[in-house]
Amino acid sequence: MSERLSAATHDDEPDAPPSKTPARCTWAYSAGDAMPAYHDEEWGKPCHDSRDLFERLCLEGLQAGLSWSTILNKRERLRTVFHEFEPERVAAMDDEVPVLMADPGIIRNRRKIEAIIHNAQLVNTMKTVGESFDSYLWSFVDGKVRVNRPADASAIPPSNPTSTAMSKAMKTRGFKFVGPTIMYAFMQSVGMVNDHVQGCFLCPQNG
């Protein structure tokens, strides 16, 4: 989730989690029911589905400057207007930008909306030439999950050398909203890195 998500952008995060089981990363207790479910069911679990990977990339780009709870609260509407984040369909949405900008149920930021469509076109191009989006992204970690077991949220960096390298490579390809911090949060989201803190029931204990 990176420091930007677990601390910096979660201004609604409580000082301490409520007494409940199971124990989770502190940020997962904030902003109602959506956050615990996201933490338990998605965050840090390896994802290899190209559509899901594209959705996570879009959501992380949309989150820049906003709280993650805002994104989760708008996620279902975003899925609807962006055709479940199917890259091939999103790639053909250039003419729909004015309609999207008028939709109060999504993040109405023209640069971010245009970036989603543009990035979909790049992902679609990769597919047409036989290049796997999944294989490309996971190549930055050699296809292996990196387990960090941070002591607490303060030990989680906002970016790392791998996210910086991924950002640079993707920018070279033309991708937008893929800065090092965004890409580290993406890596956490799709399980390339496991940053569940010690004490969280999802933190790997061995190996």
Q: What is the 8-class DSSP label of residue 113?
A: H
To the query of whether residue 136 is one of the catalytic residues in this protein, the response is no
pLDDT reading at 2 higher than 60: no
pLDDT, one tens digit per residue, over 172-184 is 999 999 999 999 9
Cα 131 to Cα 150: distance, rounded to the nearest angstrom: 34
Of 5-9, 106-110, 116-120, 186-190, the poorest mean pLDDT is in 5-9
User: Count of CB atoms within 10 A of residue 194's CB?
Assistant: 20
Cα 190 to Cα 84: distance, rounded to the nearest angstrom: 17
To the query of whether residue 27 is one of the catalytic residues in this protein, the response is no
pLDDT, one tens digit per residue, over 106-127 is 999 999 999 999 999 999 999 9
7 confidence band (pLDDT: 50, 70, 90): very low
The pLDDT value recorded for residue 31 is 57
1 confidence band (pLDDT: 50, 70, 90): low
Cα 175 to Cα 72: distance, rounded to the nearest angstrom: 23
33 confidence band (pLDDT: 50, 70, 90): confident
Catalytic residue among 38, 43, 138, 184: 38
The pLDDT value recorded for residue 11 is 41
DSSP code per residue over 137-151: HHGGGTT-PEE---S
The pLDDT value recorded for residue 22 is 76
To the query of whether residue 60 is one of the catalytic residues in this protein, the response is yes
Catalytic residue among 43, 60, 138, 184: 60
User: Count of CB atoms within 10 A of residue 186's CB?
Assistant: 25
